[in-house]
Amino acid sequence: MKTGEKVIILDFGGQYTQLIARRVRELNVYCEILPYNVSYDELRVSAPDALIFSGGSASVYAPEAPRCDPRFYSLQIPVLGICYGMQLMAMDLGGVVKEGRRQEYGKTTIFVQGDSELLADVEQEFSAWMSHGDQVVKVPPGFSVIAETENTAVAAMADAERKLFGLQFHPEVIHTPCGKLILSNFLERICSFQRTWTMENFVDSTTAEIREMLGPEERVVCGLSGGVDSAVAATLVHRAIGERLICIFVDHGLLRKGEKEAVLATFARELKMNIIAVDAREEFFARLRGVTDPEEKRKVIGNHFIRVFEREAEKLGKISYLVQGTLYPDVIESGTSTAAVIKSHHNVGGLPPDMRLGLIEPLRYLFKDEVREVGLELGLPEEIVWRHPFPGPGLGVRVLGEVTPEKVAVLQEADAIIIEEIKAAGLYRKIWQCFAVLPDIRSVGVKGDRRTYAHTIVLRAVTSQDGMTADWYPLPYEVLGRISSRLVNELPQVNRFVYDLTSKPPATIEWE
Ligand code: XMP
């Protein structure tokens, strides 16, 4: 995919690589991440207009140190090396890198030297985030030093002629306040980019691409879940091919309160999309009877979801493609991940393995915040665009132990109260996910002089970038207090409320 100017970020294993990509996109330049060992031919095919080398934890001297093809320096396009990326550039081009233990870590003062385009308009002395062991002690021929610190003679280097640059510090993190200006200098002053990557352009070019790819006849199916990704993907495809897109919305009985009504109101009534709503509640509850093991539950829900989806899709006659709301972090993860299976994730609503359909993934190069912007651009209501992520198996993994319609009903009500209060407190968008969990316990209480033996509701609220790690969110006591009294007063089945104060790891976001 290429929409005008394009940066390729070579990933040398740095923890901030995705962050570099986000920053570049925020500056309205399209970019993609490729592994450091991408071949020269592959890189040429992807036709970058500039390269950024990410940081990485290795020492350039380590035998296994990640190295890229040295011909990348001669492509006649600007290259910016960050941290490890700069050290590698220095070593590859004839400079000297000194091996060392962790030299500088954390906030460091940088002193600008000379006047380089890369550091134009940046204060002569500024604060930046450092984290390195090795350091460049002599720049390669043709380069000059453009910044230093008290302990590092080369904090930044430049060869303006060949447009090769290196930064020992991290411009992509918020602890480098002028980092965005430096990246913007690279993209605008050095690469001379017009910076035209906007979500409006993305919508126009993507709908045109989809239309062209599908021709005038092909019909396409999409599983709509109510989540923002599938909603935006479906709306984009709908804009391209109108009613040749058929959405299937499976109500497995494990949705949040009012979810089905909200989805149908938006997509069927407002956007006039072709939607088949399947009421499969009884089938799912029947299959979940007596199932208590979390993995077993996930499998039952996931497998049956695929069966229902296939059954409905078969009734539609000839269909050639399936739309999926895959995002860029999933694409990057699946390319590199060696993570052990903690939970059998993301299997619900996934491609049925033996359905021979082509895939349309219009969001596969977007980050979550960009998807939200596209959603707003397409006119989706904020209610859907800002919705917290919801797992495919739905409330099935939040009702611990056996899932019954009665327990789900209690959880739906409790969840709705929580969300209402979080929204009323103006906190909904500050939180990645917040929801109710119904543990498989009952406890003794007293309501109106009467003994009760009733359910406990757990509140889970976390902040996160991508769901891979998460921190518990410190909700104000007043908000917790309001939620607590509403839950026990309004729900006769509930007599206790507790707050989950664990981060991920060691806990996970969902309880099952
Ligand atoms: P965990 O519980 O593993 O969840 O910390 C991380 C993120 O993934 C969501 N999640 C799922 N999403 N299908 C999905 O589409 C699933 O089976 C699934 N399980 C968990 C979870 O809500 C959180 O955002």
The residues facing 283 across adjacent strands are none
- Same-fold call for 199-385 versus 398-499: no
Map out the domains of the chain as residue ranges: 6-190, 199-385, 398-499
Q: Are 288 and 402 spatial neighbours (Cβ–Cβ below 8 Å)?
A: yes
**Distance separating alpha carbons of residues 171 and 86, to the nearest angstrom:** 13
User: What is the DSSP code string of 123-157?
Assistant: -SEEEEEEEESSEEEEPPTT-EEEEE-SS-S-SEE
Structure tokens at 265: 């109101």
**Which residues, 6 or more positions from 17, have their beta carbon under 8 angstroms from its beta carbon?**
9, 11, 33, 54, 55
- The bridge status of strand 156-159 relative to strand 164-167 is antiparallel
What is the whole-number distance in angstroms between the Cα of residue 511 and the centre of ligand 1? 10
Task: Report DSSP state, residue 72.
Answer: G
For the domain 6-190, what is the CATH superfamily, name and number? Class I glutamine amidotransferase (GATase) domain (3.40.50.880)
Which protein residues touch ligand 1 with a CB less than 6 Å away? Answer: 343, 345-346, 348, 389, 391-393, 433, 467, 504, 508-510
d(CA 10, CA 429): 32
User: Buried b vs exposed e over 353-362: b needs ≥16 C-beta within 10 Å?
Assistant: eeeeeeebeb
CB of 288 closer than 8 Å to CB of 300: yes
Who's near 362: CB < 8 A, 6+ residues apart?
A: 206, 210, 233, 236, 237, 323
Query: Contact at 8 Å (CB) between 281 and 260?
Result: no
C-alpha distances out from residue 354 to 262, 358, 359, Å: 31, 12, 13
CATH number for the 398-499 domain, one of 2.60.40.180, 1.10.3720.10, 3.30.300.10, 3.30.565.10?
A: 3.30.300.10
From the alpha carbon of 345, which atom of ligand 1 is closest?
17
Q: Distance, CA 293 to ligand 1 centroid (Å)?
A: 17
Pocket test for ligand 1, best of 345, 463, 508 (most atoms within 8 A of CB): 345
How far is it, in rounded angstroms, from Cα 427 to Cα 408? Answer: 25
For each of the chain's 512 residues, which pLDDT tens digit applies?
Answer: 445 799 999 999 988 998 999 999 999 999 999 999 999 999 999 999 999 999 998 899 999 999 999 999 999 999 999 999 999 999 999 999 998 766 678 899 999 999 999 999 999 999 999 988 899 999 999 999 999 999 899 999 999 999 999 999 999 998 999 999 999 999 999 999 999 999 999 999 999 999 999 989 999 999 998 889 999 999 999 999 999 999 999 999 999 999 999 999 999 999 999 999 999 999 999 999 999 999 999 999 999 999 999 999 999 999 999 999 999 888 876 654 333 445 454 434 455 556 678 899 999 999 999 999 999 999 999 989 999 999 999 999 999 999 999 999 999 999 999 999 999 999 999 999 999 999 999 999 999 899 999 999 999 999 998 788 899 999 999 999 999 999 999 999 999 999 999 999 999 999 99
Closest atom of ligand 1 to 468 CA is 6
- What is the value of pTM for the model shown? 0.84
Instruction: Report CA(345)–ligand 1 centroid distance (Å).
Output: 6
Atom of ligand 1 nearest to the CA of 397: 19
Cis, bond preceding 329 (omega within 30 deg of 0): no
Assigned token pair, 59: 């020492």
Closest atom of ligand 1 relative to the 392 alpha carbon: 13
- Which of 254, 330, 343 most suits a substitution to test ligand 1, by most atoms within 8 Å of the C-beta? 343
Q: Which residues does the annotation mark as catalytic?
A: 83, 170, 172
Ligand 1 geometric centre to CA of 277 (Å): 24
Please tell me the distance between residue 391's alpha carbon and the centre of ligand 1 in angstroms: 5
Q: Which two three-digit tokens encode residue 415?
A: 């969840």
| Cα gap 304→301, rounded to integer Å | 5
Question: Ligand 1, atom 12: nearest CA belongs to which residue?
Answer: 391
Topology of the domain covering 199-385: Rossmann fold (3.40.50)
